[in-house]
Amino acid sequence: MQAKAKSDRPLHVAIIMDGNGRWAAARGLPRTMGHKAGIDALRRTLEAAQGMAISHLTLYSFSAENWQRPAGEVHELMGLLRFYLKTELKSLCENNVRLRVIGDRGYLADDIATMIVQAENKTANNTGITLVLALSYGGRQEIAAAVRALARKVEAGMLTAEAVDEKQIAAQLYTHGMPDPDVVIRTSGEKRTSNFLLWQSAYAEYVFQDVLWPDYGQAHLAAALEDFTKRERRFGK
């Protein structure tokens, strides 16, 4: 039996938001302006996703590797993140959006980490779309952390090595309890996974769209889903 891409359950859509810098450069603007415009695109896309059959929207907002960008750009991105968390919480609540953050929070500034916990708690009982922000996120780092956690359990005699299976590993990932992504979209024409949801995307369909992230919106998301629904997903069967 073939599982068709056309799904009768809401989808988990994950997006690698790429092209902010190029969008700014094309206008002779500093990169920060591209990231700022990227936040507007984020808002537009979240709003569009709420009108579609999407249960989870995961956005690659800051990768583990992004810490190696010039200090000024990192500072600006963290400033935008602070601004987003501060100004958006009310609207997330009004729109019944649940917020989750995945990634290594140990690298984030204390005030940001606190704002994240507050926003997650405040939106925890919302029943609409789940917005997942990947912050200081790296797929390999996530898997390594899961392996360390399981090794500690084995060391403590709480688990046998033989009992370590896919379910045990998935339960240790930042995404525990979430469905795997059905579609991973990357904007800007680049065709790389860049360490994003490596474990979770084992059977995801990839959609590459030739649009810079700040220009993204409802029509692009609809087109990506249209592409997805045309595909046949066999899950290796």
Catalytic positions, please?
A: 18, 66
Residue 72: count of CB within 10 angstroms of its CB: 11
Is 17 a residue that touches ligand FPP (CB under 6 A)? Answer: yes
Question: What's the CA gap between 115 and 92, in Å, rounded?
Answer: 14
- With b meaning 16 or more CB within 10 Å and e meaning fewer, what string describes 11-40? bbbbbbbbbbbbbbeeeeeebbbbbbbbbe
Site track 155-194 with ligand FPP (rule: CB under 6 A), x = hit = ----------------------------------------
Where in 199-228 is the site for ligand FPP (CB under 6 A)? 213
Q: Which stretch binds ligand FPP (CB under 6 A): 60-68, 97-105, 122-130, 142-150?
A: 60-68
Of 7, 47, 84, 104, which one interacts with ligand FPP (CB under 6 A)? 84
Q: Are 220 and 210 in contact (CB under 8 A)?
A: no
3-state helix, strand, coil in the chain (%, to 5): 50, 20, 35
Nearest approach, Cβ of residue 213 and ligand FPP (Å): 6
- Residues 122-161 interacting with ligand FPP (rule: CB under 6 A): 133
Interface with ligand FPP (CB under 6 A), residue from 5, 10, 22, 194: 22
Residue 188 DSSP SS3: coil
137 touches 64 (CB < 8 A): yes
Binding site for ligand FPP (CB under 6 A): 17-22, 35, 38-39, 42, 61-62, 66, 77, 80-81, 84, 133, 213
